[in-house]
């Protein structure tokens, strides 16, 4: 299936772009991050992140669907 | 809107005026400032980045929850994004209430929750030429150790 992925902060820098469309067989955000972590050499483990799908926080075990927009959220530091 | 981002300097007088309410007897505010030193490093400037669509939703949820938890009249939070210099205001929170206690408590609650929950990231640029994403570099280094 095709997914859109948006990257912020340290993940944007490590991946080299702020968004991309990919073709993947990853069934969940956890599978997807594992795939991307190898390809982009992300230093953070998924346990250190949160994930959002289609603009709302989601579970790592959510079943991804064609066209979903996925954002991995590194540890935050507002304020 | 209860929570918003701005790319320009936060106008605290104007933000405060948005909260004016004749039924309120007290007002409390908090300003987060860009500091020149963090965790042993001399900081020259900061860069803030946000996942704005979700950050605004989460920021508004924080303020709505604070409004249920404390007897306040109005609350507002404004966060900067982009490049900030030392001494600039990175975040502003204002709350008004019938009595001061709720205004202080809700203001503290909102800034603590914003720092903890809202998808905003801060990159520090140091005098020695290095830079780093706060809360990300140390835990990333820890993740690499077996």
Q: Check if the beta carbon of residue A75 is closer than 8 Å to that of residue B135.
A: yes
- What pLDDT does residue B146 have? 45
pLDDT band at B141 (very low <50, low <70, confident <90, very high): low
Q: Is beta strand B3-6 parallel, antiparallel or unpaired with respect to B26-33?
A: unpaired
By the 10 Å C-beta count (0-12 exposed, 13-18 middle, 19+ buried), A41 is classed as: exposed
Q: Is pLDDT of B142 > 70? A: no
Predicted ipTM beyond 0.90: yes
What integer is the mean pLDDT of B53-68? 98
Q: Which of residues 16-35 of A touch B (CB under 8 A)?
A: none
Count Cα atoms within 13 angstroms, Cβ side, for A48.
Answer: 21
- What pLDDT does residue B137 have? 81
Q: What is the pLDDT of residues A13-47, one digit of tens each?
A: 999 999 999 999 999 999 999 999 999 999 999 99
Look at B49-58, B71-80, B137-146 and tell me which has the smallest mean pLDDT: B137-146
* Closest C-alpha to A50, from A38, A58, A61: A58
Structural tokens at position A5: 């992925």
B interface with A, Cβ–Cβ below 8 Å: 32, 48-51, 53-55, 57-58, 79, 90-91, 111, 114-123, 133-137, 139-141, 143-144
A54 in reach of chain B (CB within 8 A): no
3-state secondary structure chain B: CCEEEECCCCCHHHHHHCCCCCCCCEEEEEEEECCCEECCEEEEEEEEEECHHHHHHHHHHHHHHHHHHCCEEEEEEEEECEEEECCCEEEEEEEEECCHHHHHHHHHHHHHHHHHHCCEEEEEEECCCCEEECCCHHHHHHHHCC
Structural tokens at position B81: 């994004």
Mean pLDDT of chain B: 94
Q: Is pLDDT of A2 > 80? A: yes
**Mind listing the domains of chain A with CATH numbers?**
2-73 (3.10.20.30)
What integer is the mean pLDDT of A1-17? 97
Q: What CATH number does the domain containing B70 carry? A: 3.90.1170.40
Q: Report the number of distinct structural domains present in chain B.
A: 1
Q: What percent of chain A shows pLDDT beyond 90?
A: 100
What integer is the mean pLDDT of B109-135? 96
Q: Is pLDDT of B61 > 80? A: yes
Q: Is pLDDT of B144 > 80? A: no
- Cβ of B114 and A78 within 8 Å? yes
């Amino acid at each position: 299936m095709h997914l859109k992925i948006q990257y912020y902060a340290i993940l944007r820098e490590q991946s080299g772009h702020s968004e991309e469309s990919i073709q993947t067989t990853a069934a969940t955000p956890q599978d997807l991050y594992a795939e991307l972590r190898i390809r982009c050499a992300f230093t953070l483990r998924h346990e250190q992140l949160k994930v959002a799908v289609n603009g709302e926080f989601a579970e790592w075990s959510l079943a991804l669907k064609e066209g979903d927009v996925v954002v991995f959220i590194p540890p935050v530091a507002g304020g | 809107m209860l929570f918003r981002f701005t790319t320009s300097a936060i106008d605290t007088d104007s933000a405060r005026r948005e909260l004016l309410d004749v039924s309120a007897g007290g007002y409390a505010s908090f300003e987060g400032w860009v500091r020149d030193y963090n965790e042993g490093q001399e900081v020259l400037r900061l860069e803030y980045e946000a996942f704005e669509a979700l950050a605004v939703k989460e920021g508004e949820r924080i303020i709505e929850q604070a409004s249920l938890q404390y007897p306040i009249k109005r609350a507002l939070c404004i966060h900067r994004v982009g490049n900030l210099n030392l001494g600039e205001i990175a975040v502003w929170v204002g709350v008004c209430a019938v009595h001061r206690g709720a205004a202080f408590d809700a203001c503290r609650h909102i800034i603590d929750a914003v720092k903890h929950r809202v998808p905003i990231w801060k990159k520090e640029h140091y005098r020695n030429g290095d830079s780093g994403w706060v809360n990300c570099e140390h835990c990333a280094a820890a993740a690499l150790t077996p």
